Structure 1
């Protein structure tokens, strides 16, 4: 059971998702962007297990802990609410409030038009890096943009950083804390502007160990 990580990058590594085969491609794309509901389900399961661990074993003469029962019941309710909301978004696309604005009206795939080569005045070139406005990871923090190892700007969701460079091949990378994207080599000719887009790997919001297990590939940087 797999779902493609990016809308327009079918070669990206697949991300596992429960019950993926029950949904069509449009529904899978919607579910890919509701990490809040994934976190809700995981929180519910955590509370359910925590409350269950406090309850006395079956047949025990120990007094039942009402607080533990309440925690377990709350966990079951939270998990059920998150799971039902995921099913609703998968089959019906609602409630839309859980979807980022750009993905509330998902339409079928259409072939992407070739990206025109943008021109820059003079004998220099330009590299432009935009942070995807739908990126829900660490929204209150900025990604640091590096060109040839030099920090050239910071990005919040929807923001763009531009850097004038000499014609040739340059290495671009985005970082946050000790995590980063793989370095991307970008070739630009005289007067050309290369546009890139970055974001976190979808689903890392609900993966508490991603900052350690995916330290050098937590962020994605690709051509727009």
Structure 2
């Protein structure tokens, strides 16, 4: 399945061992939003800051009904030892599961392995994972894919922003989209298929910068 996953794909199901116990992925999602994200290696500097930030932001993901699931090509014992360092550095508890994918089976399915960066390999020369992010909706569809190189730490505020946009659009059956640099509470864009009359019924007044570019206040604020 390598390289076949796209936006709209049903996320593959798999059995996984994690530091929080074993699960079947589809059963674990169980009608929730979910984020599966990989990091290159335990006990590494950028990854330690990232997992710490994910732990600090856990409450924000919980508010949005999003389950976090980490993954790397380490074993569960390594995760358990490393979490102590993460807690020490970030002063936050890692409560989400981290998958141990030492055989790289899941990473291969999700095309997470770094094939180019010679510095992102283990002691045996095997490729480690890049910083992949898969956002999955309650229908088990992949709705966002973001990939960062090993050298670049992710921005979890941006990942939350993406979730806010996706959830707002989903709640209105795709009748709104969000503009550049949008934050929750900012004006949104009325989707082009929505005619003006329907837009008035749905949102009341709106402003049209161009016939194809119409703004209305964030409906979630009402």
Larger gyration radius, structure 1 or structure 2? 1
Q: Per residue, is there more strand in 1 or in 2?
A: 1
Normalising by the smaller structure, the TM-score range is under 0.3
Q: TM-score, normalised by structure 1?
A: 0.20
By relative contact order (CA 8 Å, sep 6+), the higher-ranking structure is 2
